[in-house]
Amino acid sequence: MKEQRPEELPSLVLAYVGDAVYELAIREILVKQGYTKVNLLHKEAVRYVKAAAQAKALFAMEEMLTAEEQAVVRRGRNAKIVSLPKNADYMDYRHATALEALIGYLYLQGKQERVQEIVGFALEAIVLEK
C-alpha cells in the first residue's frame, strides 16, 4: 500500500486521527493538572471533547488560522457525515469534525508545535466560554 500525504487523505480520515490526538492531548493536560480519579478525569475530558465545545473552540480560533489551515477546516466541515452521535447537534458535529480534521492534518504533517498551539487555544476558548 502506497503511503499518502496528509493533503491527499479524505477529511474524515484526518478527523479520525485528529480525534485521537486531541483526546490524548486533553487527557495529558488534565493528568498534569492533578486529576487522578478516573471518573473525574472522564467527566472533565468530555467537557472539552464534546462536539459543542469543539465547535465553539473552532469559532474562537478561526481568525488565527492560516489560509492552508482554513482550507483543511472547510474540507472537514463539508465532509459527508454518515452517522451522528445521539447527543450532538448536526452543525456542532460538522464543526467539531472540521477541528479534528485540522488537528489530524497538522499532526500528520509533523507540525506538533502547531497542534499544541491549536489544542491550547481550544482549551482556553472552552474554559473562557464556561
What is residue 115's predicted lDDT score, i.e. its pLDDT?
97
The pTM (predicted TM-score) of the whole model is 0.91
Catalytic residues: 19
Nearest to 22 by CA among 78, 91, 76, 87: 76
SS3 content of the chain, % helix, strand, coil (to 5): 75, 0, 25
What is residue 87's predicted lDDT score, i.e. its pLDDT?
79
Domains of the chain, each with CATH number or no CATH: 6-125 (1.10.1520.10)
Is there a contact between 55 and 96 (Cβ–Cβ < 8 Å)? yes
**Using one digit for the tens of pLDDT, what is the confidence trace for 107-118?**
999 999 999 999
- The C-alpha cell of 56 is what? 465553539
Q: How far is it, in rounded angstroms, from Cα 64 to Cα 115?
A: 13
- Local confidence band at 2 (pLDDT 50, 70, 90 cut-offs): confident
pLDDT, mean over the chain: 91
- Local confidence band at 64 (pLDDT 50, 70, 90 cut-offs): very high
Nearest to 61 by CA among 73, 49, 45, 52: 73
